[in-house]
Chain A
């Protein structure tokens, strides 16, 4: 067994230390990771300088002497391979925006949900492991193809595994990458009493696309924590990505917010295919496209949003064009008609069954044809 990862927790709240040690005791005992603590940014830097084995920083923002945002700025000088997760107040958009600009890897909100924190830590450490492997491989001058496959693993490592039933709704998501690293991703966030969902597709492939995807994902999560309305989330992300984008990469995305109590689903689209709604009786409709442009290319884009109430048994299917543009050996596209036919008169029994049905049909259709694009599908069902 390798050494446990070491996480530096920076917070001026003295009660946090015993709480973390208590709630994470299983992980600590299993030597998955351990914790060291600092009370402010200055103490954090001292500990980081004294102990080069620290892997990750979990920092609050408001602290005496040196705050979390200043600390974030200092981290690359200590060790460029550290990853930082910021603990922010819900809705604190200004600080979240600053933290994103200063390279925060991820965010958790206060009050800390420990299940969410465990998931975030696991994901950050998995990313770190892949990153280190990529670095050591680079040192050994491995072939480009090898780097691409590492980049692909890096990308996979940040996709969340979603529990099939979470916070009063069923969710299932999967991404099947094309041969080379691409730019599809999905994500979900728990936001107070609602759930936020993302399906996105970065233009182009290769390592630059996967880098762009990483920053898109962080920007989306930060914006989702910072503002409520989906149209404002996309507005924020577009502004972030557009600021410094000399290569004209862009990402198409759909961001949806679901309230499990009322069944209300509100979504906003940035240049992405609109989702499908499958009713409990098996009627399939394409939800309306909302006005907007793919993220990252035009300044000050106004996005629109649309709301629909899901009845019990209704399923929403979010997907990337890897589904509809999957090709068979005769160069035919899978298309919307075939996707609609998957569910027409055939309502899925669960979110998992719905996403499996999509992948199964695409696979059967494509046969032996080479997969040229990432295929992503996220399904949400109101039980």
Chain B
């Protein structure tokens, strides 16, 4: 699991890669939230290089989204592979977290 991020104005794009499951879900949450600055209003999580996410991974994503929501900030995800997209679709998480096909679409939100 690796992270990189780029910031433009109040929008932060975080690129996550590797695998998220029960063994590293809480590290994933810490690393993800570690990239946030107080000025970030919109966080876009680019999952194009994420190979796998388990239900424990979905749970920490939900925690991050709810934390941001409380601060009137937003979290969206984009560019999922087919496998990760299936996990979102089957679990119904695509009805809770905004999903976009690409970073550009997510920016236009």
Which A residues form the contact surface with B (CB < 8 A)?
Answer: 201, 203-205, 248-250, 252, 270-274, 289, 291-294, 297-298, 301, 321, 325, 333, 372-373
Which chain A positions have C-beta within 8 A of B96? 293, 297-298
| B36 CB–A CB distance under 8 Å | no
| A325 and B54 contacting across the interface, CB-CB below 8 Å | yes
Which B residues form the contact surface with A (CB < 8 A)?
Answer: 21-23, 25, 52, 54-56, 58-59, 62-63, 66, 89-93, 95-96
Besides the contacts A203-B58, A271-B92, A292-B92, what 14 more A-B pairs have beta carbons closer than 8 Å? Answer: A203-B55, A248-B66, A249-B59, A250-B55, A250-B59, A289-B90, A293-B93, A293-B95, A293-B96, A321-B55, A325-B52, A372-B21, A372-B22, A373-B54
18 A-B pairs with C-beta separation under 8 A: A203-B56, A204-B22, A204-B55, A204-B56, A248-B59, A271-B92, A271-B93, A272-B91, A291-B92, A293-B92, A293-B95, A294-B58, A294-B92, A298-B96, A333-B52, A372-B21, A372-B23, A373-B22
| A248 and B63 contacting across the interface, CB-CB below 8 Å | yes
CB-nearest residue of chain B to A295: B92
Which chain A positions have C-beta within 8 A of B62? 248, 250, 297
| A271 and B59 contacting across the interface, CB-CB below 8 Å | no
Which chain B positions have C-beta within 8 A of A372? 21-23
Closest 6 CB pairs of A and B: A293-B92, A271-B91, A203-B55, A203-B59, A271-B92, A204-B56
> Assuming A248-B59, A248-B63, A250-B59, is B25 touching A204 (CB within 8 A)?
yes
Closest Cβ–Cβ distance, residue A245 to chain B (whole Å): 11
Cα A248 to Cα B21 with chains together (Å): 16
Which chain A positions have C-beta within 8 A of B59? 203-204, 248-250
| B91 and A252 contacting across the interface, CB-CB below 8 Å | yes
CB-nearest residue of chain A to B21: A372
Q: Which of B63, B92, B96 has the most CB of A within 10 A?
A: B92
| A273 and B90 contacting across the interface, CB-CB below 8 Å | yes
Closest Cβ–Cβ distance, residue A322 to chain B (whole Å): 10
| A294 and B23 contacting across the interface, CB-CB below 8 Å | no
| B22 and A293 contacting across the interface, CB-CB below 8 Å | no
Q: Which of A252, A271, A293, A325 has the most CB of B within 10 A?
A: A271
Which chain B positions have C-beta within 8 A of A204? 22, 25, 55-56, 59
| A252 and B55 contacting across the interface, CB-CB below 8 Å | yes
CB-nearest residue of chain A to B62: A248
Cα A301 to Cα B22 with chains together (Å): 26
Which chain B positions have C-beta within 8 A of A292? 92
